[in-house]
Amino acid sequence: MTPTLRRKLQALAERRDELERLLADPGTIADNDRFRAFSREFAQLGPLAIALAAEARARGDLAAAEAMRDDPLLQNDKAMRELADDEIHAATSRLDRLEAELLAQLVPKDVRDEGGLYLEVRAGAGGDEAAIFAGDLLRMYARYAERQGWRVDIESANPGEHGGYKEAVARIEGRGAFSRLKFESGTHRVQRVPATESQGRIHTSAATVAIIPEETGDIDIEINPADLKVDTFRSSGAGGQHVNKTESAIRITHVPSGVVVESQTERSQHANRDKAMKRLKAMLVEAETERRHAAQAASRKLQVGSGDRSQRIRTYNFPQGRITDHRVEGLTLYDLPNVMEGALDALVERLAQEHQADELSRLTGESA
């Protein structure tokens, strides 16, 4: 570990000590917002403190083992020297593991990671088959969310003529949802024989996915009501006879940016408007985040949080049962049926590891 990275770790440790003092201060305790913010930051630095303490113990064990190995009185004691060598090896292995943990603590934390997200799926090239594939993707993410114990609500949906969706928007609510799915934005391509293909030919179609964090982070967007164009219409979703009698669905256009959001799943116009406004704000915040980090995001293989839907990120090859992520070399799984049923952990975790490696490489470059 470079001296600069070591100093950064020490600064974080000192910050945790400072937070501990601040949290005991009566002035902080009396300020709920401040106390909550400091508590969150203190908790985030907890793993760092644990790893630093474990590293200090491992260094002590290594020093003791080396001293035993080099003790002149034990030079002729083969058993003791072998024991010392074993302890040196064990302590060195622990230090290597702990250094990796400590470096991971230096990766900048995205304050949005613990929150939920909006999932947008849209059919791309491929006609009816693209819409069917968009529906398959929505189902895949919903199944994954179920495995994680997250809640999924469909905010709006435009069904395809032969199944699936031309476009659909879902809200996924659960702790850590954004951190697990934020690498899914982009173009997803499918290769398979459509049910309507009589000659067994493989077709290629695509759907686009956008992951928009629900949490705003440190960006606050004020929306001027004068900038909004609000339309009402009859819902085409579930809701019984009610949806055919009242125009409860809402479409809001943010005129300056051209962003359009819809909500049609609630029975009241007020509830649909509230949902639509929340998603509009999330989309505007994400656009601002992307603008601020455009130069940095352009250099990242994973396009983290950029919502870049023009980038082909993954291919689902049904004849071969293969799924390939094109952003990471060697990331190919021959487990497509299970993946489509929501078994995404192997992909999600590998992408998270790749992101961490990229961030550590950048930090190392900065400290060189």
pLDDT for 246 equals 65
Decide: residue 123, CB within 10 A, 0-12 exposed, 13-18 middle, 19+ buried. buried
Q: 3-106 maps to which CATH number?
A: 1.20.58
* Cα separation, 115 vs 139, whole angstroms: 21
- Bridge partners (DSSP) of residue 207 are 123, 188
| Tokens 């759907």 -> residue | 207
* Cα separation, 124 vs 141, whole angstroms: 18
Selected from 3.40.50.1220, 3.50.50.60, 3.30.160.20, 3.40.640.10, the CATH number assigned to the domain covering 225-292 reads 3.30.160.20
Which CATH class name applies to 117-218+304-367? Answer: alpha beta
* Cα separation, 9 vs 51, whole angstroms: 11
pLDDT for 248 equals 83
* Cα separation, 248 vs 225, whole angstroms: 20
Domain map (residue ranges) of the chain = 3-106, 117-218+304-367, 225-292
Token digits of residue 310? 């023009």
- Bridge partners (DSSP) of residue 314 are 188, 325
Nearest to 134 by CA among 206, 212, 236, 204: 206
pLDDT tens string, the chain, 368 residues long: the values are: 777 778 888 888 999 999 999 999 999 999 998 999 899 889 888 888 899 999 999 999 999 999 988 888 888 888 998 999 999 999 999 999 998 888 878 877 777 888 899 999 999 988 899 999 999 999 999 999 999 999 999 988 899 998 999 999 999 999 999 999 999 999 999 999 987 777 778 999 999 999 998 876 667 788 888 999 998 887 765 444 444 456 788 899 999 888 888 888 788 888 888 888 888 888 888 887 777 666 555 444 554 334 344 578 999 999 999 999 998 888 999 999 999 999 999 999 999 888 888 877 776 665 54
Token digits of residue 263? 């909500």
Token digits of residue 296? 């940095």
Q: Count Cα neighbours of 321 within 13 Å in the Cβ-side half-sphere.
A: 4
Residue 269 CB: number of other CB atoms within 10 A?
A: 17
CA dihedral angle for residue 340, residue 345, residue 348, residue 351, rounded to 10 degrees: -120
* Cα separation, 206 vs 189, whole angstroms: 4
pLDDT for 216 equals 67
pLDDT for 233 equals 85
* CB 120, CB 209: distance < 8 Å: yes
Q: Measured between alpha carbons, how far apart are the two ends of the chain, in Å?
A: 11
pLDDT for 293 equals 63
Strands of the sheet containing 165-173, edge to edge, are 151-159, 165-173, 117-123, 203-213, 186-192, 312-317, 322-325, 332-333
CA distances to 106, 244, 297, 333 from 292, rounded to whole Å, are 21, 44, 9, 34
* CB 181, CB 301: distance < 8 Å: no
